[in-house]
Amino acid sequence: MAARLLQFGSAAVLFGASAFYAYGFPEASGQRRDWPRLVLLAAAALALASGVAWLSAETAVMTGVPKDALDPASIASVLTQSHFGRVWAIRLGLMLVTLLALALAPSARPRMLWTGTAVLGAALLASLALTGHGATDDGVAGAIHGLADGLHLLAAGAWLGALAVLTIILVRSTRTATPAEAASARIGLERFSGIGSAAVAILLLTGLVNSWFLVGFDRVGALLTGLYGQLLLLKIGLFVGMLALAATNRFQLTPRLARAFRADSIADALAALRTSLIAETTLGVLVLAAVSWLGMLEPPA
């Protein structure tokens, strides 16, 4: 479960943060390039490490022998002879390419690097749907469920990855409270607002589709009686909390920051936004933890 959580989180940051750098700061300067690349490098390294750990643990689960988690022959067998392994071999290749691209291309144009990493991150994140519950359905139902699952993951990544970057920007900004740092935070928040709204809409729609396949409307009343249903309701509650904080950020705190430039009270506005974004990010991590656990349980339907 820990490997799943780290894999979801790192893939979300690789896609969402890279995309946010590309559309949020297309005019990024060389000075702004260093720490964003370090964030993505850390995410790529974590993705590779957690991916190997997940494969190792899954090998032990498949063989039923705990020591096979460290047996090269057993791991190779899973990689070549199972659907999970073949998908995972492609995923490990994507992780390695992403890590090398970020490590070896520090002098590339920032936007070109962010766009390339976003494409790799999107493939890495969406491919998680190929080994999830959606991959167990056949025919048209399987295609619809798999598509909804992949879009759900991408929308979550677009939101959570950008949220991670915005939180870092706000933490950095509150240390200096300079007009330049505050302006960077305001620009990022304003440019993310439209993307964030689209991500929420996709999450709601694909969440309903996934619920149809995994729970079924005839079993909604039984959600409170099983662990899967209880975790799903917890995840929904955390998501609603994130929505409330996101709405506060967009309609109250971001306009307050814009007004602060005229009233010369930037520090207070930045501090309020920082607190809200940290809370929203914390809820996002808890949502990922719930998703990681849900993926290991048998759904009602």
> pLDDT of 174-212, one tens digit each?
776 667 777 777 888 888 888 888 999 999 999 999 888
Higher pLDDT, 213 or 109: 213
What does the buried/exposed string (b/e) look like for 286-295 if buried means 16 or more CB atoms within 10 Å of the residue's CB? bbbbbbbbbb
* Whole-number Å distance between alpha carbons of 295 and 266: 43
pLDDT of residue 134: 66
Helix segments in 215-300, DSSP class H: 227-248, 254-263, 266-294
Give me the residue spans of the domains in the chain: 1-131, 144-301
List of residues 6+ apart from 3 with CB closer than 8 A: 50, 51, 53, 54, 57
Q: What is the pLDDT of residues 49-63, one digit of tens each?
A: 999 999 999 999 999
pTM: 0.89
Whether 293 has a pLDDT exceeding 90, the answer reads yes
CB atoms within 10 A of CB 178: 12
Contact 127, 119 (CB under 8 A): no
Where residue 291 falls among pLDDT bands split at 50, 70, 90?
A: very high
Distance of CA 125 to the CA centre of its chain: 8
Note whether 12 and 281 are within 8 A (CB): no
pLDDT higher than 70, residue 260: yes
Q: Whole-angstrom Cα distance, residue 70 to residue 1?
A: 18
Kind plus residue range of the DSSP H or E element containing 172: helix 139-176
pLDDT in tens, 94-121: 999 999 988 887 655 677 888 899 999 9
